[in-house]
Structure 1
């Protein structure tokens, strides 16, 4: 049996294949940072965030038509700030649960 030897090097860390390479400029980065820097420090603000940012996409639907099911995907994921808003909502839920000791089940789908 013949042994296999590698003739190439392995790259670890922040390597992206050429077609998925991240560009150096992101126009929404300042807005993303601003949303990520929002701190939840009082219960009233936390409740407002949980009421305004939905727990699941309100546009996702399954429509039954003539015996067929049509699935409309979650359009919220097309929002470039979706992950940042979900993170803000999670911070608000954590604040209410951990710091205030409130039951947050009413805000969970």
Structure 2
């Protein structure tokens, strides 16, 4: 995935849309309004996590630097 070059604005936007900015697996489990379990973010255990984050960062940089787009709405 490190060799993938982001050189198309549509592809860069798609990458930013599908790769979340934060780990989506962290959860709090509640029962009757009381938290009974907290599941920590497990993304760090995924061997591809760093590569996905790097790809999203390259896509954001491409949109901001090369295309001159406002990426503030993509950072959340």
Aligned: 1:53 with 2:4 = no
RCO higher in structure (CA 8 A, sep ≥6): 2
| Distance in 1 between residues matched to 2:57 and 2:36, nearest whole Å | 32
Written as runs of structure 1 = structure 2, the 5 A alignment for 1:41-80 is: 41-65=7-31, 67-68=34-35, 70-80=37-47
Aligned: 1:99 with 2:66 = yes
| Distance in 2 between residues matched to 1:98 and 1:64, nearest whole Å | 43
| Distance in 1 between residues matched to 2:31 and 2:74, nearest whole Å | 31
Question: Number of residues paired by the alignment?
Answer: 75
Give 1 or 2: higher strand fraction: 2
Deviations 1:54-93 (A, max 9, x none): 1111111123445445321112222101101100000000
Structure 1: 4+ residue segments shifted above 6 A: none
Structure showing greater Rg: 1
Please report the TM-score for the alignment, with normalisation by the length of structure 2. Answer: 0.85
